[in-house]
Structure 1
Amino acid sequence: MELANRVKDLTPSSTLAITAKAKELKQNGFNVIGLGAGEPDFNTPEYIIEAAEKSMRNGFTKYTPSGGIVELKKAIIQKFQNDNYLTYNTNEIIVTTGAKHALYTLFQALVNPGDEVIVPAPYWVSYPEQIKLAGGKPVIIAAEEDNDFKITPKQLEEAITDKTMAIIINSPSNPTGMMYNKDELKKLGEICLKHNITIVSDEIYEKLIYTNDEHVSIAQLSPDLKEQTVVINGVSKSYSMTGWRIGYAAGNETIIKAMTNLASHSTSNPTSIAQYAALKAYTSDEDPITEMKLAFKERLDKLYSLLIDIPGITCNKPKGAFYLFPNVKEAAKLNGFNHVDDWVAALLEEEKVALVPGSGFGADDNARLSYATSIDLLVEAANRMKQFVINHQS
């Protein structure tokens, strides 16, 4: 049986691969510390779980409109007004089966075969694959580590061709935790407006910032940029609701209508129960985010201080998300490995610490560590990493 080219050309997720290997070792009785998680380790707040249960008891277990229930769209609109100073109407919002599906549906709606989409690297692993699935070509711009993994206006200008139709901006970023400030976004936005390039602004980590820096959505900088931007967000990270699969997109009504039509033939609608849970998240006065942020900030500070004490490892301290993205190239060399991927694999095999190699994110010299686990485990993981590096010095 012959598979379609579109799936044969897909690159497997490095995150899932390392998770599978770590799970296999755990099942064989090994004490594995997994730092590959892309989700908070907190449970969904109880009041949200109760709202989901109440919705089931009240019979909200049927199909909903493909683009999401109106009540949730209105709550999302209010969220945009409160947090981002942006005004949308319900025809400019689509609720999706997770933010990942919002991105997938958006690329399917916008990208024609041969179209180019600019993807700054390091990038989230699914961006290039989703673009390729839509028939497009991901154009990778390597953001420099000494610029906090952020691309410059000059880099953007040089990457644009007559086939460029979109760019992805992810701030705060997975995997680096970096953020663009208002001035940086404005300069990039001016170039996008000049060349009529659609901006895909992935803001899923906007609530998880541990400095005094303010999250800025590029869509809020001017009416023209708002019209040119599709904002992607969801409740997965900020409310610890990854498994509920509720995301959304906000943007031009024509684009949102096309996305909604596509969704009607793929998922039918986001899960009704999860929509009512998300509605409660956005309309409740309770604040689970502060507690989670305090815990993540404490973990970040602790793990960062331990990491930079390991020979051959350097690291830019992130401002948001829940990842560290250290450069481990010199540590790998010290240990006699030609590639970081091999070093990461050996670390898992010998010390039972699971990191995600940076190659999956377009950064071969780095590795991603999630600090969405307890401080005790983070300290133990860092100690094992240091011991591994010391033991293998050639």
Structure 2
Amino acid sequence: MLAQRTELFKSSATAAARAAAKSAADQGKEIVDLTVGEICSDLAPTIRAGAIDAIRQGVNRYTDPIGMMELREALAGKISGNTGQVWRADEVAVTTGAKQALFNVAMVLLNPGDEVIVPAPYWTTFPAQVLIAGGTPVHVDTRANGYVPRIEDIEAAITDRSRAIVVNTPNNPTGTVYDAETLAGIGKLAIKRGLWIIFDECYGDFIHVDEAHHPIVSILPEVRPRTLIVNAFSKSLALAGWRMGYLAGPKNVISAVKALQSHTTSNPNVIAQHAVLAHLLNGDGNFESELRCQLTCARQMGLSVLSALTRVPVPKAMGGFYFYLNVSDLLRRPRLREAGTTADDVVKVLLMKAGVAAVSGTAFGDPVGLRLSYGVPPEKLEAGLTPLVDVLNAWE
């Protein structure tokens, strides 16, 4: 018998979507995989040089469980620059990707039965880790408000068991960027009701509209003592496989995270730490600019193709690198009702008829959504979106 907690969660739905794409490809089908949550890019030269230099120096020892002091100091400087506030190394923990940062937060903040407000659609890991920690995710539907949570809806979801709220901007999967007014409202509500804010800004480097990315502690400095900032280099430096993330917050929380991490993974990969440190110290920003340019071009080309959609609204794709489609109108049509009633059925038909792998919104708590990544090479993106548009437009 397995532990009871294993009944509370399943394997990542996005991983399952990738597996379905691979299975179809293994059967000889031509598949364009738009499920990936990563950017297809080479390494930054500074990352490559930093890793190679560390290997040549024979770096192979443990570091502090939450990362080398030099790296945490560099990260504190980066966060200080981003937020306009002074951060210290003892307020920063280096983690094995953003997922571990979030897991650490859940484990050190939540008691069994505590509730965490998670706006939906949501990244699948948010509610899963709350459940693992013994908490209860409470979802607030954002679809009627352009995927931005209304303050009154959040407040209505708060109970005496509420412990935290997840704020993810730019949002995965929708690409929505929260405006300053919304963030200020969330911050004031958190202070008023005594909630922690888990602020995930992993896609913060990729904004494609006039709206800027705002760290919530910059908008409302007084919320800093109850805010945990989660970030990673998986997106900003296209280092998804290197598993380098970080957490910033009050010193007592980081101390608790250090104790916890010392009994789980201990320190993150030491070569990756040295590589990221080399980039933070020596990078000139050119690689990040090129990466943003790559995504901007991919977004523009993708939106141009998607503009031909006749029965599905063209997504805004404000930030990150996902197109998020609302297929609710298709699901009301007779042909699709014969196949099923959720976006899962759209995904199956697209895989079969268009040769395109997408992630169903059911993975994100939204049965009428569809996520498509434009982090893939441009030729693959166009090759996938063109038949996708044809298939969706052909439904009656």
TM-score above 0.5: yes
Match of 2:388 among 375, 385, 389: 385
Q: Which runs of 5+ in 1 are unaligned?
A: none
Q: Check whether the contact 1:201–1:232 (CA below 8 A) recurs between aligned residues.
A: yes
Q: Check whether the contact 1:219–1:231 (CA below 8 A) recurs between aligned residues.
A: no
Q: Check whether the contact 2:343–2:368 (CA below 8 A) recurs between aligned residues.
A: yes
Q: Give the aligned residue type for 2:39.
A: P
The residue number in structure 2 matching 1:122 is: 121
Task: Tell me the SS of whatever aligns to 2:210.
Answer: coil
Farther-moved stretch of structure 1 (360-369 vs 325-334): 325-334
The residue number in structure 2 matching 1:102 is: 101
| Cα drift, residue 376 of structure 1 | 2.3
Q: Give the whole-Å Cα distance in 1 for the aligned partners of 2:281 and 2:101.
A: 22
Q: Check whether the contact 1:307–1:313 (CA below 8 A) recurs between aligned residues.
A: no
The residue number in structure 1 matching 2:271 is: 273
Task: Tell me the SS of whatever aligns to 1:175.
Answer: coil
The residue number in structure 1 matching 2:159 is: 161
Task: Tell me the SS of whatever aligns to 1:128.
Answer: helix
The answer to whether 1:136 aligns with 2:139 is: no
Match of 1:372 among 352, 375, 378: 375
Q: Check whether the contact 1:66–1:270 (CA below 8 A) recurs between aligned residues.
A: yes
Task: Tell me the SS of whatever aligns to 1:64.
Answer: coil
Q: Give the whole-Å Cα distance in 2 for the aligned partners of 1:20 and 1:285.
A: 35
How many aligned positions are there?
391
For residues 84-99 of structure 1, what are the structure 2 equivalents within 5 Å?
84-99=83-98
Identity, % of aligned positions: 34
Task: Tell me the SS of whatever aligns to 2:40.
Answer: coil
Q: Check whether the contact 2:164–2:196 (CA below 8 A) recurs between aligned residues.
A: yes
> Residue deviations 1:197-226, cap 9 Å, x none?
000000111111122332111112344211
Q: Which runs of 5+ in 2 are unaligned?
A: none
Q: Output the aligned Cα RMSD.
A: 1.4
TM-score (norm 2): 0.95
| Cα drift, residue 180 of structure 1 | 1.1
Q: Check whether the contact 1:202–1:232 (CA below 8 A) recurs between aligned residues.
A: yes
The residue number in structure 1 matching 2:288 is: 289
Task: Tell me the SS of whatever aligns to 1:368.
Answer: strand
> Residue deviations 1:239-266, cap 9 Å, x none?
1111111111111111111111000000
Q: Give the whole-Å Cα distance in 2 for the aligned partners of 1:55 and 1:374.
A: 31
Q: Give the aligned residue type for 1:191.
A: L
The answer to whether 1:345 aligns with 2:348 is: yes
Q: Give the whole-Å Cα distance in 2 for the aligned partners of 1:389 and 1:176.
A: 19
For residues 189-204 of structure 1, what are the structure 2 equivalents within 5 Å?
189-204=187-202
| Cα drift, residue 116 of structure 1 | 0.2
Task: Tell me the SS of whatever aligns to 2:154.
Answer: helix
| Cα drift, residue 193 of structure 1 | 0.2
Q: Give the aligned residue type for 1:257.
A: S
TM-score (norm 1): 0.96
Q: Give the whole-Å Cα distance in 2 for the aligned partners of 1:27 and 1:150.
A: 39
Task: Tell me the SS of whatever aligns to 2:94.
Answer: strand
Farther-moved stretch of structure 1 (331-340 vs 107-116): 331-340
The residue number in structure 2 matching 1:185 is: 183
| Cα drift, residue 390 of structure 1 | 4.4
For residues 165-244 of structure 1, what are the structure 2 equivalents within 5 Å?
165-244=163-242
| Cα drift, residue 323 of structure 1 | 0.3
Q: Check whether the contact 2:93–2:258 (CA below 8 A) recurs between aligned residues.
A: yes
